[in-house]
Amino acid sequence: MGISPPPSNPSVAFDPPKITTGGTLADRVTAVLLEKIRNGEFPAGARMPTEQVISERFGVSRTVVREAISRLKSDGLVEVRQGSGTVVREPNRTTAFRLDIDPKDSVEAVLRVTELRRGIEAEAAALAAQRRTRAQLADIRRALAAIEAAAKKQRDGVDEDLAFHIAISRATGNPLYPSLLEFISQFTHAAIRVTRTNEARRDDFSAQVRDEHSAIFEAIAAQDPLAARRAALTHIDNAGRRIQEADPSFWATGGTAAAQPLLNEEINEKKPTAKKKPRN
């Protein structure tokens, strides 16, 4: 079905927006317009209010409004038609996936991502234990060794930690697992940075993480899916617990800065496509 023609009125009704705090002005304007599209206040086929109208209602410059409209356009949610202005598009398969973290603070932001990882990575570990090949197990072993090498060089090991979990996801035999982990990697990367920054401050925490990673690897090597799932759950749950137990000085000396990507961004980087180009 094509997009229905815009209604005869110049623009859809525009009630006074409720602007949330946090993020840039463009972030906030985009969030409100997105919500109005989602809840049908700006229905498919309808004209969006003009830049001038949006600018006046929000009390922001037209430059900010253009940035917000540009984001909606890049997401495939609106289109600009000559003579009609900006029109809301019909929902379709090319609409960008968006997962709004919407945290109250750094702790909650990290815990939300950690909880998301719990469901994905525990099942990935179990499937990897069932299906991994010798070559894939070797990849996981190398990723585990890379984490230790990074620690010895006093590097944060965030990239190596993420690579370890992605190596496990590839061993599931299901390409959707690594695709999903890579898709949300900007957020898991930030969450891992926070947890590893916290864990590096205490030798007992660092030792716990090493033991947890080793337990996951050993269960996958032993092809024991129950043990692999249990080890992954233990690791993710303990990471969350360690964050909850972090004292205020951690957040004051670097924890909040490490969590900043979770506070200011949304997972909104890729759009589903029918085909994916093979990697070289």
CATH number at residue 43: 1.10.10.10
Helix (H) or strand (E) holding 87: strand 85-88
140 and 253, same structural domain? Answer: yes
Residue 69 has pLDDT above 60, yes or no: yes
Span 125-140, mean pLDDT? 97
Residue 100 lies in a domain: no
Return the pLDDT at 18. 57
Looking at the domain assignment, is residue 119 inside a domain? yes
Q: What is the predicted pLDDT for the residue at 225?
A: 98
Q: Both 86 and 167 in a single domain?
A: no
**Please, which pLDDT band fits residue 122 given cuts at 50, 70 and 90?**
very high
With vertex at residue 133, the alpha carbon angle to CA 132 and CA 139, rounded to the nearest 5 degrees, is 85
For residues 219 and 256, state if they share a domain. Answer: yes
pLDDT band of 177, cuts 50, 70, 90: very high
pLDDT at 13: 53
Residues 119 and 148 in one domain: yes
The three-state secondary structure class of 56 is helix
Residue 60: pLDDT above 90? no
Where do we find the tokens 């927006």?
17
Say how far apart CA 57 and CA 17 lie, in whole Å: 7
Same domain, 2 and 88: yes
Whether 156 contacts 194, CB under 8 Å? no
Answer whether residue 22 shows pLDDT above 70.
Answer: no
Confidence (pLDDT) at 237: 92
- Within 8 A by CB and 6+ apart from 148, the residues are 210
- What pLDDT score was predicted for residue 109? 74
248-255 own/partner pairs: CB under 8 Å, 24+ apart = 250/197, 250/198, 250/201, 251/106, 251/107, 254/197, 255/106, 255/194, 255/197, 255/198
Alpha-carbon span 166 to 163, nearest angstrom: 5
Asked whether the predicted pLDDT for residue 277 surpasses 50, the reply is no
- On whether both 86 and 111 belong to a single domain, the answer is no
Residues 212 and 242 in one domain: yes
The number of angstroms, rounded, from the C-alpha of 262 to the middle of its chain's C-alpha atoms is 8
Quote the domain boundaries for residue 7.
1-95
What average pLDDT does the chain have? 79
Number of domains the chain contains: 2
Cα–Cα dist 16/58, whole Å: 8
| Residue 279 within a domain | no
Residue 248 has pLDDT above 70, yes or no: yes
pTM for the full model? 0.60
215 Cβ contact list (under 8 Å, min separation 6):
227, 231, 234, 235
Q: Inform me whether the pLDDT recorded for 173 exceeds 90.
A: yes
Across the range 107-114, mean pLDDT stands at 79
DSSP 185-200: HHHHHHHHHHHHHHHT
Q: What is the pLDDT, as a whole number, of residue 158?
A: 84
pLDDT in tens, 183-233: 777 677 777 877 877 777 778 878 888 999 999 999 999 999 999 999 999
Judge if 117 and 47 occupy the same domain: no
For residues 119 and 255, membership in a common domain is answered with: yes
Q: Are residues 149 and 247 in the same domain?
A: yes
Q: Which of 143, 248, 129, 127 is nearest to 198 (CA)?
A: 248
- Who has greater pLDDT, 233 or 264? 233
